[in-house]
Structure 1
């Protein structure tokens, strides 16, 4: 298990990549080596951040608990042993289950400079730390290039991060490296890095001394670090402080960095010596924090949150009133709906009555049709009888004519016989 940290834009992604590659080469692997667990690459770190989402989220929550951010850290470290804080930290443990397990892992986050002491309470164990330091002007220039921070703000962040990293008494082992040492193969700290990894990873594997060698580290560094190609964009910002940052700040930063490099070179870097090296710079940049362009203090964040909270309360009150109005309207709509439902019931009842009447009318109409058909049949029968009677009358008339003609003939015959 190993934490990698250092101020933002100090090369933490590079050193994390290097250590992960060495662990893969010697078969240790990494329990956190999954694309779903790690932050994705971006334009600023195209090879990746080698940083887990869960660790970054936990650090952001810890900072947020004290009204801080990564770019607005506390000026005085909080007490992580206070009961409310410890309960909060223990509550973060389920989200860091992969870290709390007993498997080997390497994780990195610059925020660990500020929060690493909190992880003793979260993980219930001491996690060794490998830290990387870098020239404060280069860090400030890179922060200006990436985030648009004024140079003095970047220097102030560098001072605070490294003060929290180096000047706190802790039993957690810290191994610090200078990013500039990886500029050239002539200055690569392979031997020291080899000893550090052998001591850290010896308990995790057999024959660590024979597996972790300077030759192996040289190959990994060559693959992980592309010399000027990787540093070109960042080094162009090294002189950005000239003309846009107070010279006293630049001089104090350069002096502090020079002293830290000497302490690392002489292997005399301790909380006391680091405090002596960084204290003048901190006094310079933080004597009046409000004069640092773009500086945001926890007090400013607290005020901003108070304003945001007040605005949220006002918005919630308006939404609550709006919800009350909607509630009244909903009640009115409910009443109207009930009235409409009653009307619908009445209409359904009327419709049923209309259907009954319609069925009765249809039955009556059917009966009328039947009667009409019967009457038509009777009329047709009567018409047939009438036609027959007319034919009989015509026949009788013809017979009567014949009878009258016979009668006239008989009369004629009777008249002739009388004359005789």
Structure 2
């Protein structure tokens, strides 16, 4: 889900040796950048638009990709063939994952989640999204994250962990995924860049709280 520590996680993977092509390294809402490859984001946006959906209007079911977007993705990744290991980050991928899995059936995943109210508050701070809409969006993204995890488990981190605990867990995950964890010094993480904290938990719907507890139990 957006605003859930995905940029911190991806920046840390990059520090450990992950290649990502040309990515965003700064924007007004994320001073270290969202670490997203705009060409991949554009593909996801076009796939969503083809289905009458968007990042903040998730489709009800898996999306069939237009053939043209499948070809665009193949051509883009062919240009990265010499970069290994190569990866990408875009929260929209949870909404378009069926096509990516068809293109690249051996994708390796790593997931991260954050308390729903902290995410909703961050979205409200960034773009004025109402809290209840942010909570529902959190639910739609993270139920897909949980579904994918249940199909085949992968490393799952909580961005709510205290900094040193988060970094210790991430270092273990990096080693388990085949990265040279000794190359990673944890320099990307900056506690001061967390843009929201959870308050007034009473506004969180029961289904959202239950999903958050499920993810907590599964996290590294």
TM range (shorter): 0.7 to 0.9
User: How far is the alpha carbon of 1:241 from its aligned partner?
Assistant: 6.7
Instruction: Tell me whether 1:212 sits opposite 2:181 in the alignment.
Output: yes
1:184 to 153, 163, 171: 163
Distance 1:20 1:40, change over 3 A: closer
Residue pair 1:137, 1:253 contacting (<8 A) in 2 also: no
Give the corresponding residue for 2:125: 145
TM-score scaled to structure 1, two decimals?
A: 0.47
Question: Unaligned regions of 5+ residues in structure 2, if any?
Answer: none
Quick check: 1:12–1:108 contact (8 Å CA) kept in 2? yes
Q: CA deviation at 1:240?
A: 6.0
Q: CA separation in 2, counterparts of 1:89 and 1:171?
A: 25
53, 57, 66: which one aligns with 2:38: 53
User: In 1, are the aligned partners of 2:2 and 2:91 still within 8 Å (CA)?
Assistant: yes
Q: Give the deviation of 1:172 after TM superposition.
A: 6.2
Q: Counterpart of 1:108?
A: 89
**Distance 1:263-1:43 versus aligned 2 partners, 3 A rule:** same
**SS of equivalent to 1:70:** coil
- 1:77–1:52 CA distance, 2 compared to 1 (3 A): same
Alignment counterpart, residue 131 of structure 1, candidates 111, 132, 136 = 111
Aligned partners of 1:14 and 1:225 also within 8 Å: yes
- In the alignment, does 2:209 pair up with 1:262? no
Bigger RCO of structures 1 and 2 (CA < 8 A, at least 6 apart): 2
Instruction: Give, in angstroms, the shift of residue 135 of structure 1.
Output: 0.2
What stretches of structure 1 of length at least 5 have no aligned partner? 1-6, 24-28, 202-207, 266-420
Given the two structures, how large is their TM-score scaled by the length of structure 2?
0.85
Separation of aligned partners in 1, 2:87 and 2:131: 32
Q: What is residue 323 of structure 1 aligned with on the other side?
A: none
The root-mean-square deviation of aligned C-alpha atoms, in Å, is: 2.6
1:71 and 1:146, CA in 2 relative to 1: closer, same or farther beyond 3 A? same
Distance 2:214 2:68 in 1: 38
Higher gyration radius (CA):
1
What residue number does 2:15 align with? 21
Q: Deviations over 1:309-349 (max 9, x none)?
A: xxxxxxxxxxxxxxxxxxxxxxxxxxxxxxxxxxxxxxxxx
What does 1:48-127 align with in structure 2 at a 5 Å threshold?
48-78=33-63, 80=64, 85=65, 87-92=67-72, 93-99=74-80, 101=81, 103-104=83-84, 105-122=86-103, 124-127=104-107
| SS of residue matched to 1:103 | coil
More helix, by proportion: 1
Give 1:176 shift: 1.0
1:174 and 2:143 are equivalent in the alignment: no
Moved over 6 A (4+): 169-172
State how far apart, in whole Å, the 2-side matches of 1:62 and 1:97 are. Answer: 19
Q: What is the CA–CA distance in structure 1 between the aligned matches of 2:150 and 2:47, rounded to whole Å? A: 19
